[in-house]
Amino acid sequence: MAEKTGILLESGTNELEIVEFCINDGDNPGYYGVNVAKVREIIHKPKLRSLVAAPQSVAGMMMLRNKVLPVLDLGQILGQRPAQVAERMVVLEFNRVVIAVLVNSVSRIHRLSWEQIEAPSAISSGSYITGLVKLEDHIILILDFERIIAEMYQGSAVLALGSDELLSHDGTGKKILVADDSSFIRLQICNSLRGAGYTVEEATNGEEAWNYISSTLSAGKFDIDVVITDVEMPKMDGLHLVSLIRGKEELARLPVYVFSSLASDDNIKKWEKLSINAVLSKPDLPKLVDILGECLAASRPAL
């Protein structure tokens, strides 16, 4: 599973694989998906150990290969409690965190183009959904696990920057384009950058970001100093966005940073050929802002 995903991430084909799983709510099952790149393994539910004073969203903890993992009750988090006893667990690894989530069943792996994944409607944009896939007989909802984990660990999260850290940066006169499909993560990034004085343009996916870049180039009004992009996004992923940028001779010197939960050492090596300036792992926003400050201390690259 990991090998296939690595090939997809390395090739820049704007494709991905998702694991589909079900949370059963009586006659109204919910079908959800997660990028295979985040899936460490899928196992039968073991006996869980209870946690004292744990929130309802935490079902307990378990031992897996000598590592203690928190187990999330995904039905509780999504407001769709399983009607049956959950039998399977999906172990996820991203953002330097390993967790397990309870699900009723795991269906299959789908290989898709990001173009097949639609952005959620305005009604659900503030929820845990970052995209949806329409199949013949049902819809798969792509979950924003970054937001779920960030809220779970909000007491120790490093997404938000303190005022002292922001005061050490001066982004006055510099414009940054941020592409991220998670409204929660994007808000944290953009608020922090604006707090440091940067002007920020927002895009909810790679296609939207590329359309903005293309339109400003065509109009002779390109004024972006840096692009920050996630990898997993509907319509167009961040790696394909980077390849399009690097394919434009006039953008060859434009700094591009990837800020992703998939920023493992192996993936960073695979992405080297895309000439990304730096790849940083979510949620290390302070490091991102530090690197931007160093990069933009120099004058805007001539286009």
pLDDT of residue 170: 66
- pLDDT score, position 159: 44
pLDDT of residue 295: 79
Given strand 58-64, what is the order of strands in its sheet? 39-44, 88-94, 97-103, 67-73, 58-64
- pLDDT of the residue at 172: 75
* pTM metric for this prediction: 0.77
CA angle (251, 252, 257) in 5-degree steps: 85
CB 18 within 8 A of CB 33: yes
Mean pLDDT throughout 135-139?
Answer: 89
Weakest mean pLDDT among 116-130, 159-173, 190-204, 273-287: 159-173
Give the Cα separation of 51 and 48 in Å (integer): 9
Amino acid 164: pLDDT: 46
* Per-residue pLDDT at 209: 97
Question: How are beta strands 226-229 and 256-260 bridged, if at all?
Answer: parallel
Q: How far apart are the first and last CA of the chain?
A: 41
pLDDT on residue 155: 43
Number of other residues whose CB lies within 10 A of the CB of residue 34: 20
* Residue that the structure tokens 């293309």 belong to: 214
89 versus 57: the higher-pLDDT residue is: 89
Among residues 242, 225, 79, which one has the least CA distance to residue 148?
79
Does the pLDDT at position 7 exceed 90? no
Confidence of residue 26 (pLDDT cuts 50, 70, 90): low
Residue 150 has pLDDT above 60, yes or no: yes
Largest Cα–Cα distance of the chain, in whole Å? 62
pLDDT band at 157 (very low <50, low <70, confident <90, very high): very low
- Whether 206 shows a pLDDT value over 80: the answer reads yes
- For residue 12, the model assigns a pLDDT of 64
pLDDT band, residue 276 (cuts 50/70/90): very high
Model confidence at 125, pLDDT cuts 50, 70, 90, reads: very low
Least confident piece of the model among 170-174, 193-197, 230-234, 267-271: 170-174
The residues, any chain, with a CB within 8 Å of residue 38's CB and separated by 6 or more, are 92, 93, 94, 145, 261, 262
Residue 265 has pLDDT above 90, yes or no: no
Instruction: Output the DSSP codes for the chain.
Output: -HHHHHHHHHHT-SEEEEEEEEE--TTS-EEEEEEGGGEEEEEE--PPBP-TT--TTEEEEEEETTEEEEEEEHHHHHT---SS---EEEEEEETTEEEEEEESEEEEEEEEEGGGPBPPPTTTTTTTEEEEEE-SS-EEEEE-HHHHHHHHTTTT--SSPPHHHHHT---TT-EEEEE-S-HHHHHHHHHHHHHTT-EEEEESSHHHHHHHHHHHHHTT-----EEEE-S--SSS-HHHHHHHHHTSGGGTT--EEEEETT--HHHHHHTGGG--SEEEETT-HHHHHHHHHHHTTSPPPP-
The tokens describing 103, both together, are 């699900």
Give residue 124's pLDDT band: very low, low, confident or very high (50, 70, 90): low
Ordered by start, the domain boundaries in the chain are: 2-152, 163-295
CATH number for 163-295 (one of 3.40.50.970, 3.40.1390.10, 1.10.1200.10, 3.40.50.2300): it is: 3.40.50.2300
pLDDT of 6 above 70 = no
pLDDT of the residue at 106 = 92
Per-residue confidence (pLDDT) for residue 179, from 0 to 100: 97
Q: How far is CA 144 from CA 34, 77, 162, 232, in A?
A: 9, 12, 25, 10
Q: Determine whether domain 2-152 maps to CATH 3.30.70.1350.
A: no
So what's the pLDDT on residue 156? 40
Residues 6+ apart with CB under 8 A from 81: 25, 73, 75
